């Protein structure tokens, strides 16, 4: 159901990724009409080495899983919970399915002050949390219904940044 894929992202890379993402929000260059505080889905178009390392780890695993190097498209965005800003009502269940395509999705917890806010999903009518390992992608079928986890007090003070990605293959 899930794959945990290690990356070669360093501590310095993580700082650069956080700075890049914060710059989108600081300059108002983010997507206002999707769940609040989400970047445009073009982060994999960035050319810096830290973004390429993250992209390569995601794309290589997805292609290996699908047994092909031929994919239709991919996209990557960041979702940020700001400190001291309420995000109530922004926890809608969703999936990343695109018509006539098979989607592999991934989340990379870049800044996670508490495991309480891991992404949630339902299995056998029970609410569960995505598995997590630091510096790893959590890879899953894009058809899986999921939602951002609830924020706790620690996260309300520190914030959270999740990088998400989809890659689509022909059926």
What is the helix (H) or strand (E) element at residue 154, kind and residue range?
A: helix 153-158
Domain count, the chain: 1
Tens of pLDDT along 6-40?
A: 999 999 999 999 999 999 999 999 888 776 688 99
User: What pTM was estimated for this model as a whole?
Assistant: 0.90
Q: What is the CATH number of the domain that holds 155?
A: 2.60.120.620
The radius of gyration computed from the CA coordinates of the chain, to the nearest angstrom, equals: 15
Q: Which residue segment(s) compose the domain that 28 sits in?
A: 2-170
Q: Which residues of the chain have pLDDT under 70?
A: 35-36, 82-91, 151-157
Segments of 16-159 assigned E as strands: 73-81, 101-111, 120-123, 126-129, 136-141, 146-147
């Amino acid at each position: 159901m899930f794959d945990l894929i290690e990356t070669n992202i360093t501590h310095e890379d993580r700082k650069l990724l956080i700075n890049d993402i914060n710059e989108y929000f600081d300059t108002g260059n983010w997507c206002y009409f999707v769940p609040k505080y989400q970047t445009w889905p073009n982060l994999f178009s960035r050319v810096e080495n830290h973004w390429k390392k993250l992209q390569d780890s995601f794309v290589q695993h997805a292609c290996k899983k699908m047994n092909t190097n031929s994919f239709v498209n991919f996209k990557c965005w960041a979702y940020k919970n700001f400190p001291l800003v309420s995000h109530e009502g922004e926890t809608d269940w969703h999936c990343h399915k695109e018509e006539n395509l098979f989607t592999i999705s991934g989340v990379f917890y870049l800044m996670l002050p508490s495991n309480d806010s891991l992404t949630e999903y339902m299995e056998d009518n029970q609410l569960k949390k995505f598995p997590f390992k630091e510096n790893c992608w959590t890879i899953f079928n894009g058809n899986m219904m999921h939602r951002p986890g609830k924020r706790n007090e620690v996260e309300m003070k520190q914030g959270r940044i999740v990088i998400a990605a989809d890659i689509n293959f022909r059926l």
